[in-house]
Amino acid sequence: AQRVTQPEKLLSVFKGAPVELKCNYSYSGSPELFWYVQYSRQRLQLLLRHISRESIKGFTADLNKGETSFHLKKPFAQEEDSAMYYCALTNNAGNMLTFGGGTRLMVKP
């Protein structure tokens, strides 16, 4: 069975501080990992995916298969980064996303 764990329900940092949102997964195959974000009163939207190795809005995430982790990082948090962040993986069949419980990021001025 596949599982995604986000150990922190809430992460509060000051503007300009580094941010790391943790995500660990369990899956027996070769997963594809994603980070989704939901800003206040907006729909859930894709932030980034490991397969693209991209940086979006200053965020990056590296898939570490040895540690089965896909932590989301940003060196300098901004107030507009405040949102709910979900880590997710898809299985080899690509027929669903399994989501973690989400982490609420609050960036204080």
List the x/- string, 11-50, binding to another protein by CB under 8 A.
---------------------x-x-x------xxxx--x-
**54 vs 82: CA distance, rounded Å:** 20
Pairing of strands 60-61, 72-74: antiparallel
Contacts of 30 (CB under 8 A, 6+ apart): 92
What part of residues 53-92 is at the interface with another protein (CB under 8 A)? 86, 88, 90-92
Told to check if 100 binds another protein by CB under 8 A, we report yes
Told to check if 94 binds another protein by CB under 8 A, we report yes
Size of the site for another protein (CB under 8 A): 25
CB contact at 8 A, 103 and 84: yes
Q: Match 């989501």 to its residue by tokens.
A: 99
Site of interaction with another protein (CB under 8 A): 32, 34, 36, 43-46, 49, 51-52, 86, 88, 90-102
